[in-house]
Structure 1
Amino acid sequence: MKFLILLPFLGITQASPFGYQQTQVPLGSKDGFSLDLEAQRLIQLGDSHSPVWVSEREKIDLKANGVKFFDITDAVELGSSAYARLIGETKASFPSPNATDKVKPVLKTLSTKGPKKNLKEFTSFTTRYYRSKTGQKSQQWLLSQIREVTESSASRSLQPHINVNEFKHSWGQNTIIARIEGCVDPDDIVIISAHQDSTNMWPFLPAPGADDDGSGTVTILEAYRALLEANFRPKNSVEFHWYSAEEGGLLGSQAVASEYEKQHKKVIAMSQFDMTAWVKRGTREEVGIITDYTDEGLTEFNKKLVELYLDIPYVETKCGYACSDHASWRKAGYPSVFTIESSFENSNHYIHSANDRIDISDEFNFDHMLEFSKLAVAFAIELGDWSEK
């Protein structure tokens, strides 16, 4: 019903499949956009909702009104395989953190220097919207930085065990995957992720995306750098993912999760970092642990990591259906978790606007961001060396 209430806001000139009318506004080619507002997309608004067809224009309006959804047009089968049902029905259990001797030395090498430099450059693109030319250019820039970090930080002995690749998408902005091959159980995979794209409420407007999710992007890149410099060679494979098109309805992560599901890949844990920099003035600095649409056991494990390795406490919070890329992996049956900069109600109110910038407020905090890099490092080492057997 929530969706039907919002639809009259869209404008009225042409019949829509909902019994309402919809205005079609030409987007043009500003900044090299390639977007057909009349194109039909299949979206899902909740586990109990049947998928519905909407236009790209309707998708934009829904996003602008804060409605979260999967765009399942190209991933209708995600989570429907017998393999996904099997792993989804198997209750995952996780150990108590026990690798402090390995984790703590790496935490000491983390710095705000790289994140500050990288985020300044990453937010200089007019927008990182996934269907824009600048969105493609920003992805290529990010890819170059990840490869540079790999070459400069990994030892000669570690280099052969690392692969950095693009997972290609039809819209042109590709997902990036950096994989550290496991030395004992390489088929067991731990994923640490963020999304690289940004959007304004209207996609053709500027969207620097400093917090959403430039912060998560550079947060996990800093963790990746520190792990390589520590000559980290896990027993399980550890992958860092930078997803494309999260703002389009989790398109990039759905595509990757679908492929892993088809190949029956064993993802033992996935952790999403989306918005890690904001501390609302007058509130306590804390880590938001999302408790809805996440794996219960892995969430409890994540809390233990915060308590053991971070200098700030956690707070339980909720963000709703399909609110970030962890949801794609949960839908495929894999254990996934999501951490955010604060309780959801205290998170950055400038997102999806031209004011999602580093310099807009002293509430944007690189030291806070560093706490999340600690969490990513701890997640990688603790689960990278964990065996279920």
Structure 2
Amino acid sequence: MKATLLLLALTASVVGARWLEHQSTDQTIISLEEPQYLLELIGGGTQWATEAEKWELRRDGQMFMDITDFRDLGSYHIASEKKDKYPKELIFQSAVKPLLESLNATNMMNHLEYLTSFHNRYYLSEHGEKSAKWLLNLINNTITETGADKYGVSVKPFKHPWGQHSIIATIPGKSDSLIVVGAHQDSVNHADRVNGRAPGADDDGSGTVTILETFRALLGSQDLVGGKAENTVEFHWYSAEEAGMLGSLAIFAEYEKSGKDVKAMFQQDMTGFTKLTLDAGRKPEFGIMTEYIDEELKEFTQMIIAEYTNISWVNTGCTRCGSDHMAAIKAGYPAIFVIESAFELSDDHIHGVDDLPKYLEYDHMIDHAQMTLGVVYELAFAHL
């Protein structure tokens, strides 16, 4: 089947217009001009780049936020008075630990096998659009099957100008203050982003199904589902992370402009690969990113890991890479990113045809789900 890339002008600028594409396979590009995009490079600096230049940067290991449409992000935020935001001790063990027991690796395995069966989940592709619809339906079914919809738990698409929407699931609390958990649903093949096979099992199918299983387990809490938590909980599945965090930037730009109070944002991107860690003679561990994060939230997460998981953590970093938590940070919200290992020992199969479920350890994804569940529950019921 032959399809056509449809390029749409979205915003005028002195150098060009943003454009979008829809495709499945064997596509032809139609464009009257070469649009350019303003990129905020991870590690520092900004530059204008064409679409081709954007992906050259990505292939070279340079990540960025595409801020073409979000140049005022962070300018609306009025910082609250600095205080100790997060609890210094954990008090909900009796509620959390039974929920941890309900986490199911088989659920994650089944969901990941289906998610990776899409040819790719590139945000501009027909496949990426279909995978997002499938994921939205799966999350909605998870809510209705537990009966949580009767208490106001809901899920909705967050639509973008491109085909693949982001997804937001909400567990209402006593206040509108938010605890946000995120993962990105898109994938990309750096050798051929349009037509290439990109199963994206670890990047970030693993995070996608990890937070979905965490969400399902949390729906087993009558106190949380019944609205007794102090804060509202949101789970986000972002579109277009690979293209410069476009989905999360759009969401947090809207949140900032509307004055939403995000107390914490917790990103899960790549949660299942342990081989290089084991090959190095180390036990599986969490990698806590030290760049572009909130230090108090990091300390709180370390406390959660010690209490609710059976593994340890290591500080890690990558000067030219990142994930969707950076959009929250840029908007003025506290955020953190925890990855599967020390960064230098993370999955070396990503962004190509070989990012497959067979390389992942579901026990380690359960570790990440335990950590995420502990973070969410303790913060949901905290006075922040």
Asked if 1:308 is matched to 2:302, the reply is no
Following superposition of structure 1 onto structure 2, how do residues 185-264 of structure 1 map, counting pairs within 5 Å? 185=175, 187-201=176-190, 202-204=192-194, 205-231=196-222, 232-233=224-225, 234-264=229-259
Residue 235 of structure 1 and its aligned partner are, at CA, apart by: 2.3
Query: Over the residues paired in the alignment, what is the CA RMSD in angstroms?
Result: 2.1
Aligned residue in 1 for 2:60: 65
Residue 97 of structure 1 and its aligned partner are, at CA, apart by: 2.0
Asked if 1:31 is matched to 2:25, the reply is yes
Aligned residue in 1 for 2:271: 276
Asked if 1:317 is matched to 2:321, the reply is no
Aligned residue in 2 for 1:328: 327
Compared CA separation, residues 29 and 386, structure 1 to 2 (3 A): closer
What residue ranges of structure 1 are gaps of 5+ in the alignment?
1-16, 18-26
Aligned residue in 1 for 2:86: 94
In 1, the alpha carbon distance for the partners of 2:218 and 2:28 equals: 38
Asked if 1:368 is matched to 2:364, the reply is yes
Compared CA separation, residues 181 and 28, structure 1 to 2 (3 A): closer
Could you tell me which of 170, 182, 190 is aligned with 1:179?
Answer: 170
Note the alpha carbon deviations across 1:330-362, whole angstroms, 9 max, x for none: 011101011000000000000001000012x3x
Residue 45 of structure 1 and its aligned partner are, at CA, apart by: 1.1
In 2, the alpha carbon distance for the partners of 1:99 and 1:326 equals: 26
Contact 1:279–1:365, Cα closer than 8 Å, also in 2: yes
In 2, the alpha carbon distance for the partners of 1:139 and 1:32 equals: 22
Aligned residue in 2 for 1:161: 152
Aligned residue in 1 for 2:11: none
Contact 1:224–1:240, Cα closer than 8 Å, also in 2: yes
Amino acid at match of 2:367: E
Contact 1:34–1:131, Cα closer than 8 Å, also in 2: no
In 1, the alpha carbon distance for the partners of 2:39 and 2:62 equals: 11
Asked if 1:295 is matched to 2:304, the reply is no
Aligned residue in 2 for 1:285: 284
SS at match of 1:31: coil
Aligned residue in 2 for 1:139: 132
Could you tell me which of 107, 118, 122 is aligned with 2:100?
Answer: 107
Residue 154 of structure 1 and its aligned partner are, at CA, apart by: 3.2
Aligned residue in 1 for 2:382: 386
Aligned residue in 2 for 1:8: none
SS at match of 1:176: strand
SS at match of 2:186: coil
Identity value in percent: 42
In 1, the alpha carbon distance for the partners of 2:331 and 2:22 equals: 36
Asked if 1:149 is matched to 2:142, the reply is yes
Residue 90 of structure 1 and its aligned partner are, at CA, apart by: 3.2
Question: TM-score, normalised on structure 1?
Answer: 0.86
Note the alpha carbon deviations across 1:288-317, whole angstroms, 9 max, x for none: 111111000000000110010001111111
Amino acid at match of 2:248: S
Contact 2:182–2:238, Cα closer than 8 Å, also in 1: yes
Question: TM-score, normalised on structure 2?
Answer: 0.87
**How many residue pairs align between the two structures?**
353
